[in-house]
Structure 1
Amino acid sequence: MKPIAITRLTICGIDELPTHRNHGVSHVLSVLDPDREDPTIFGDFDPHERTILRFHDVIDDKEGRPAPTRADVEAILAFGEELKASHQDRRDGHLLVHCHMGVSRSTAAMIALMAQVEPDRDEDSIFTTIREMRPIAWPNSVMIAFADEMLGREGRLTAALQRHYAIQLERDDMFERWMTELERVREIEFGRALSKQKASV
């Protein structure tokens, strides 16, 4: 994210936050469940700017747990716009994006921010970077779909997400077990559909 003078990017979960308190974090995007207490660890960080968003990590509305909305992704992109607007005020920066486990909401948020800041960047290269940053990345498909539409990616971000899912499913069967337990079979089927298409060619 050099265009906005952010030279370091980090994705993590709540339990990993203490390991980053001395890493010069300048900006934080926290994505938390609506009823989750705010982590107190940020009091031990160097002075930084922090934005907190609260929404659930599901892909279908459940009783008391609605799926992420367009407004949630709008808030992520508004955070990105603020970073761009303030870039002249800093020489460099370290952006940390976290959710509860650093798997789904935080990776989807980082993808949206990267696609926003670098509108001409190839979508697959964004996902490659995310896998390098966070090998356990399984971005929330609802969030990616909204970001795709709002950033004018015309379905390319969603197509790259499908390829990402296929790569993750082939790499480690943990993802299928994990997402099945989380009632996100639709995402597994989305990734598997690509593999089936390739096999039939």
Structure 2
Amino acid sequence: MTLIVSGLAEVPAIVAKRRPSHMITLLDPASMIGTPEGLEPDRHLKLAVNDIAEPMDGLVLPQETLVHNLIRFAADWDETRPMLIHCWAGISRSTASAFVIACERSPDAAELDIAMALRAAAVHASPNRRIVALADDVMGRRGRMVDAVAAMGDYDYNLARPFEFSARHGHAG
């Protein structure tokens, strides 16, 4: 199983080269994009959300419904082709979503192992803490997802680049 995580700017090239079967877009409402050519509209989940962890006037805070939508959408993915997950920069909302899907797909893997595989794949990954905390609650992980992301340590957003992440058992690839 391969998840490709990127920023918005890289989406057209990744769709053309890798031909993902599914795509998740996490952007603020004003920046939402249409479904790229070559991808079926029902295989493109659009989540209008800002990259925030606390309420802020005029911005869309991630809610529990976002996590339910991620899990439901990923459940229909047969893994034969990659899934592309992107946000504006490929640092926070998209890496949180990849982590959530990886945890959901690998229920027997330790959350810490998945988080460390994410860190190994992307030194710039800084999963949105609110999305992770909501998923931790929804998935009944008792704080293990939150603790695992905290254990990832510092990140370097200057090194942001598209990366692949194999969700199965937390292996980076």
Residue number in structure 2 paired with 1:130: 118
Q: Which moved more, 1:30-39 or 1:100-109?
A: 30-39
Structure 2, unaligned runs of 5 or more: 160-173
- Equivalent position amino acid for 1:70 in 2: E
Q: What are the superposed Cα offsets for residues 128-177 of structure 1, whole Å, 9 maximum, x if unpaired? A: 2222333211011011001111111111111111111x2x25xx5979xx
Highest RCO, 1 vs 2 (Cα 8 Å, sep ≥ 6): 2
In structure 1, how many angstroms separate the alpha carbons of the residues matched to 2:122 and 2:12?
17
Identity rate of aligned residues, in percent?
Answer: 27
* Count of residue correspondences: 156
Q: Considering only aligned residues, what root-mean-square deviation do their CA atoms show, in Å?
A: 2.1
Residues 132 and 24 of structure 1: CA distance in aligned 2, closer, same or farther (over 3 Å): farther
Given the two structures, how large is their TM-score scaled by the length of structure 2?
A: 0.81
Within 5 Å, which residues of 2 pair with 1:89-100?
A: 92-100=80-88
Structure 1 runs of 4+ with >6 Å offset: none
Structure 1, unaligned runs of 5 or more: 1-6, 176-201
Residue number in structure 1 paired with 2:21: 26
Which has more helix, going by share of residues? Answer: 1
Q: Is the 8 A contact 1:60 1:66 kept in 2?
A: no
Q: What are the superposed Cα offsets for residues 103-127 of structure 1, whole Å, 9 maximum, x if unpaired? A: 0000000111111111111111111
| 2:68 equivalent to 1:74 | yes
In structure 2, how many angstroms separate the alpha carbons of the residues matched to 1:163 and 1:70?
23
Residues 135 and 118 of structure 1: CA distance in aligned 2, closer, same or farther (over 3 Å): same
Pair member with larger Rg:
1
In structure 2, how many angstroms separate the alpha carbons of the residues matched to 1:14 and 1:150?
28
Q: Is the 8 A contact 2:28 2:60 kept in 1?
A: no
Residue number in structure 2 paired with 1:158: 146
